[in-house]
Structure 1
Amino acid sequence: MDANPPSPPPTGAPVVILGVTGSIAAHKAVDLASLLTKQGCSVHVVMTADAQRFVTALPFKVLSRNPVVTDLYDETEGWKPTHIELADAADLLLIAPATANVIAKMAAGLADNALTCIALALNPQARVLIAPAMNGKMWLHPATRQNVATLTARGAEFIGPEEGLLSCGYEGIGRLWPVEKIAERALALLRKT
């Protein structure tokens, strides 16, 4: 146990909504949440149901020092829906890892879970950074390429994926970009807001 745990983010800290989706790379998002919190961000993790098949909410809660949203109907104190509160407060929506499914939902404007509702209700000043992780054939499929182009045209930025050995056994593009580089880019975008 660290004898000098880091202090909580200061009031007015940049608000990062970290969306975690159902990829084997979801466990790497734990380190990402930790890195951003250590850099003074107020990190709020939103996990899809599929993400919870790969990693639990507990490490995110402990490392971010914030409740983790795992369902659209998770509610905090007060009258405002949690997903709207987070969408309003966000300086950055960071989705890492982002599956082909969530990229497609965002491109189509679907809002059937807490993460996609936040994406659709996101305040216009917030930046969007998406770090894909999926099978290479899925990433290169024309539907995914079109969805990426749609989101890019709307102002979202993509980081990765990179090439390497994939969990499905293939070698090629599809690996989550290194979390240190994702954190670095997220912090650079926050400095621009």
Structure 2
Amino acid sequence: MLKGKKILLCVTGGIAVFKAAALTSKLTQAGAIVKVMMSGSAMKFVTPLTFQALSRHDVYTDTFDEKDKAVIAHIDLADWADIVLVAPATANCIGKLAGGIADDMITTTLLATTAPIWIAPAMNVHMYENRIVQKNMMTLKTLGYTFIEPGEGFLACGYVAKGRLEEPEAIIARLEEAFSE
């Protein structure tokens, strides 16, 4: 069901970046065409080379570092995608998007795309439950964004609670459902 589907994966900075690498690999193995954007914070956890190897495509990290000078990358990628998936999505990225802030490659692309945007939050349970974060998510849901709720379990901070990035297999199952409709 994912064969030939164009998925733009936007990876923002949290420890769950390692799961985004596994997700990239599994999506590619399923036949999806995956292109990856990474925030500066995401690159502190995993290098772009990892995603380049797993996706077999260039990784985009900077609005002003154009791979092809004849193409405006964030607009080209926004137009290219069948679906945009933000995973992991930090509270910072969710807040920027809810406020219409476009100050990096990921947020400018998110505001430029007409493709469906799916958001998979991953953060500490107290951040996730924070009223501001919940309000930002509700704003985005009202605007038509789709959320993949975080899982419950052991968090990097030591808590056992809701906040983990959903498992790659569960995210893929949701995407397959969406593409089959």
* Secondary structure of residue in 1 paired with 2:16: helix
Map of 1:31 onto structure 2: 22
> Which stretch of the first structure deviates more once superposed, 100-109 or 77-86?
77-86
Matching of residue 15 in structure 1 with residue 6 in structure 2: yes
Superposed structure 1 runs of 4+ greater than 3 Å apart: none
Q: What is the CA RMSD across the aligned residues, in angstroms?
A: 1.4
Q: CA-to-partner distance for each residue in 1:13-50, whole Å, 9 max, x for gaps?
A: 22111011111010111110111111111101000000
* Secondary structure of residue in 1 paired with 2:34: strand
Matching of residue 148 in structure 1 with residue 137 in structure 2: yes
Give the share of equivalent positions with the same residue, in percent: 44
- The aligned amino acid for 1:183 is I
Structure 1, unpaired ranges of 5+: 1-8
The structure 2 residue matched to 1:181, chosen from 167, 170, 173, is 170
> Which stretch of the first structure deviates more once superposed, 155-164 or 43-52?
155-164
The structure 1 residue matched to 2:147, chosen from 149, 158, 163, is 158
Matching of residue 70 in structure 1 with residue 98 in structure 2: no
Does structure 2 retain, via aligned residues, the 8 Å contact 1:91–1:190?
Answer: no
Tell me the TM-score normalized by structure 2: 0.95
Does structure 2 retain, via aligned residues, the 8 Å contact 1:20–1:47?
Answer: yes
Tell me, in whole angstroms, the C-alpha distance in 1 between the residues paired with 2:101 and 2:175: 24
Structure 2, unpaired ranges of 5+: none
Map of 1:60 onto structure 2: 51
The structure 1 residue matched to 2:161, chosen from 147, 150, 172, is 172
Report the count of equivalent residues.
180
- How far has the Cα of 1:93 moved from its partner? 0.6
Tell me, in whole angstroms, the C-alpha distance in 1 between the residues paired with 2:175 and 2:39: 21
The structure 2 residue matched to 1:42, chosen from 3, 16, 33, is 33
